């Protein structure tokens, strides 16, 4: 939530020479791939480095248990809205309580989002959909609109500078934007 509530603080304190991607590569990715390689070489997962006492690990085990044993336990899930939040687009991806079982994930209706929360969600959803549209349509204008909507970008002129700087760096991954 820090990017929603304190976007300019996050930008001011970000290190452009050491991004979130760098952090993931140095820590999580290195550990995950390293441990997977060790397990493959050893032929066993015994004595692995994973600490399953952490909340996330226990949560995943509980979800797997709910699916395997069809318990229909309730957990949070990111899923297509389809009316779970009544005043959001049906195709929005939302995080809502859901029942997990052998028949899949069943999102639970939560009613309407508050005006403020809906505003934050709609802004983020619109930004993300514009990025996808820009990619598919090779649209510079839609990508610029997406960047201008991002909470960490203060205005459209800064959005344009960021986008123009990112285009050559991401040329191997992005289509040519026209």
Q: Compare 119 and 25 and report the one with higher pLDDT.
A: 119
Residues 6+ apart with CB under 8 A from 118: 85, 87, 88, 112
Check residue 16 and give its pLDDT. 86
Q: Judge if 88 and 132 occupy the same domain.
A: no
Q: Judge if 134 and 178 occupy the same domain.
A: yes
Q: How far apart are the first and last CA of the chain?
A: 33
pLDDT digits (tens, 9 = 90+) for 93-126: 999 999 999 999 999 999 999 999 999 999 999 9
Q: Judge if 107 and 163 occupy the same domain.
A: no
Q: List the beta bridge partners of residue 111.
A: 85
Q: Judge if 88 and 133 occupy the same domain.
A: no
| Inter-residue contact 97 to 73 (CB < 8 Å) | no
Question: What is the Cα–Cα distance from 32 to 26, expressed in whole angstroms?
Answer: 11
Residue 124 domain boundaries: 114-178
Q: Judge if 23 and 61 occupy the same domain.
A: no
| Inter-residue contact 60 to 72 (CB < 8 Å) | no
Q: Judge if 120 and 145 occupy the same domain.
A: yes
Residue 135: pLDDT over 80: yes
**Structural domains in the chain (count):** 3
Residue 52: pLDDT over 80: no
Q: Is 173 helix (H, G, I), strand (E, B) or coil?
A: coil
Q: Tokens in use for 69?
A: 């044993």
Q: Judge if 118 and 156 occupy the same domain.
A: yes
Q: Which residues in 140-168 are b (16+ Cβ under 10 Å) and which e?
A: bebbbbbbbbbbbbeeeeebeebbeeeee
pTM value? 0.70
| Inter-residue contact 133 to 142 (CB < 8 Å) | yes
Average pLDDT, the chain: 90
Average pLDDT over residues 29-47: 84
Inter-residue long-range contacts of 113-121, CB under 8 Å, 24+ positions, other chains counted: 113/85, 113/87, 113/88, 118/85, 118/87, 118/88, 120/4, 121/85, 121/88, 121/92, 121/94
Residue 59: pLDDT over 80: no
């Amino acid at each position: 939530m820090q990017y929603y509530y304190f976007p300019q603080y996050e930008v001011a304190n970000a290190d452009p020479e050491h991004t979130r991607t760098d952090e993931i590569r140095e820590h999580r990715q290195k550990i995950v791939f390293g441990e997977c390689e060790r397990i493959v070489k050893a032929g066993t997962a015994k004595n692995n480095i994973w600490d399953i006492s952490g909340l996330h690990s226990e949560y995943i085990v509980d979800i797997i248990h709910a699916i395997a044993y069809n318990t229909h336990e309730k957990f949070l899930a990111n899923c297509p809205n389809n009316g779970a939040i009544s005043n959001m687009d049906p195709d929005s991806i939302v995080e809502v309580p859901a029942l997990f079982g052998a028949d899949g994930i069943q999102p639970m209706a939560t009613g309407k989002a508050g005006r403020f929360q809906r505003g934050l969600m709609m802004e983020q959803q619109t930004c993300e959909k514009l990025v996808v549209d820009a990619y598919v349509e090779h649209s510079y204008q839609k990508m610029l609109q997406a960047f201008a909507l991002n909470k960490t970008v203060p205005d459209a002129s800064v959005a344009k500078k960021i986008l123009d700087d990112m285009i050559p760096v991401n040329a191997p991954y992005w289509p040519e934007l026209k």
